[in-house]
Structure 1
């Protein structure tokens, strides 16, 4: 690996205890000792990309997804077993042929069949989508060592470890009550939005659940932001049922839209697979195909933290602009004479659409 301080190429024996033998300085991450193969230089390189060269802040889980994205496409099913079984099977078979010992030939055949089984399972996608390092493990196995060495989180990463309040009141610039509410259960996404000033800029209150929405002193529109998964699809419907005639806006992620994007990479969480009751409620809606229900039932999801941060901020800015313009008379008057316009598509948007 390359030393992040002196940029010397270090062999394993030249970096004992995460210390460069050339400059004698300590680094935080060694690709040989963590499941994502992370190094300090790789973290910095990916951070520069997701923060748009430092123009926006990101949350820890957004960095986790950006660093895990490539590995999520790979299968983690029985790593190394297929190759080991194949090698041992060939060796045993070779010995059996020359010694003419029948049971060695049988053992060789069994090992080769096992190897073929592992290979076929991996090719069929068994184990695919499960992170090599979970969101929780990323904080202890990657961020904690970084903080120990450098004294803080990587530049551009905001701290979301303090619990986000169940009810966050955001004052509008005029001091009036918030004109709208953004309901988002994901702590990292909420921290990302706060760090980049979106709620304060548009006078939007934040809430993490329905109880928090009801407790806020506003009856303005409710913007719901959720993962594209079984629980996220039900969340919007539950909010609409609970709030009656109040305006509820589904800001995404839209499952069918995201599934159709070639660059979108889903993942699975072994601890958050939807139960039978959840799947029965989804099926009863009659809005999903059999294939979509099967996909959701296996625990697949597109997370909010997987959306490129700059793009997520752009999309939500458009939604917030439209919503607050509709509820704020001053904004409506300004928009009617052209002072405020709906943001047009960016160059990046047009590239993505193609």
Structure 2
């Protein structure tokens, strides 16, 4: 780890008790702790990207996702490790059998059993596990938040650069809104509120469709998930032509190697067919991805990209000139370039 103060490269023994051996100054984060490897200098680097060099605010959950980008655990490593363990244990057992007074027949039987076990593992257990393996964040948000408390204690009560405490952000009430922005993720709503979206666009920021004020255009933001597809479908049914839904699409996540791709249980085939019925634009590849249990959170999109797409969506909702409309359509749904 590099000391954030004197920039010396510190071994673990040289940074005990969150203090640099050379400059004796405290640092906040030990990269060997927790499921996400993060330290003070990496927080600063991530903050530069999340804030667009200091122009935008972000929340702690958005930092949580940014810190895990490209570093999600691979559950398939577990079954591969099990296979290696079985193979090595089997070899040891066979060698032990040969080196004792046991007959060659017994040794060959042991080899046969080992081969059968390995075949079952890789041709039966592996496909079964691959269809059902869950991929989640390497560290719980609560644990990550608890670690970040040390930042405030170390740096005189300050949060990391550009961060706002999402639990303390108040979403402003707009008395005469010109547009409604719907997002069920309170983290994203806090980010929008902290960046002045309500005032800049006279926008009502709400967490559900039933809180949309009457007779205004509606913009819906959502995850790339079955729930997101259903939310957009419900919004289309409720608001018709008043709706613009630039929420994160599965195809955008599939196209980006380092996007946050999480996985829960696979969906029943009937549920996948239902998603395609709700959203005819959903491709077979997207439906298959969702059906396999994959999803991606909107909060993992960096705020600069999120705000840029939202600005365009609000312009479309208000009916921008034709040239701008064509440009917005070329941009399409939320995508991951630069994310």
TM over 0.5: yes
Q: Is the 8 A contact 2:58 2:303 kept in 1?
A: yes
Q: Is the 8 A contact 1:65 1:306 kept in 2?
A: yes
Q: Is the 8 A contact 2:69 2:258 kept in 1?
A: no
Q: Indicate the residue corresponding to 2:303 in structure 1.
A: 309
Q: Secondary structure at the match of 2:56?
A: coil
Q: Indicate the residue corresponding to 1:133 in structure 2.
A: 139
Matched positions, count: 327
Structure 1 unpaired stretches of 5+? 172-176, 327-331
Q: State how far apart, in whole Å, the 1-side matches of 2:259 and 2:95 are.
A: 46
> Could you tell me how far 1:164 is from its partner in structure 2?
5.8
Q: Indicate the residue corresponding to 1:13 in structure 2.
A: 13
Q: Indicate the residue corresponding to 1:149 in structure 2.
A: 154
Q: State how far apart, in whole Å, the 1-side matches of 2:142 and 2:255 are.
A: 28
**Quick check: 142-151 or 53-62, which moved more?**
142-151
Q: State how far apart, in whole Å, the 1-side matches of 2:152 and 2:88 are.
A: 42
Alignment of 1:236-275 (within 5 A): 236-243=232-239, 247-269=242-264
> Could you tell me how far 1:163 is from its partner in structure 2?
7.2
> Could you tell me how far 1:228 is from its partner in structure 2?
1.2
Alpha-carbon displacement from aligned partner over 1:112-163 (angstroms, at most 9, x marks no partner): 95599479949958746322123444223x3233333333421111110137
Q: Secondary structure at the match of 2:205?
A: strand
* Correspondence 1:31 to 2:31: yes
Instruction: Label 1:147 to 1:41 Cα distance change in 2 as closer, same or farther (>3 A).
Output: same
Q: Is the 8 A contact 2:57 2:162 kept in 1?
A: yes
Structure 2 unpaired stretches of 5+? none
TM-score normalised to the size of structure 1? 0.75
Q: Indicate the residue corresponding to 1:329 in structure 2.
A: none
| Correspondent of 1:321 among 312, 315, 318 | 315
Q: Is the 8 A contact 2:209 2:235 kept in 1?
A: yes
RMSD value, Cα: 4.1
Q: Indicate the residue corresponding to 1:162 in structure 2.
A: 168
> Could you tell me how far 1:105 is from its partner in structure 2?
8.3
**Quick check: 89-98 or 198-207, which moved more?**
89-98
Point out which structure has higher relative CO (alpha carbons under 8 A, 6+ apart).
Answer: 2
> Could you tell me how far 1:73 is from its partner in structure 2?
6.8
Q: Is the 8 A contact 1:219 1:246 kept in 2?
A: no
Q: Indicate the residue corresponding to 1:224 in structure 2.
A: 220
Q: Is the 8 A contact 2:183 2:189 kept in 1?
A: yes
* Correspondence 1:209 to 2:208: yes
Q: Secondary structure at the match of 2:199?
A: helix
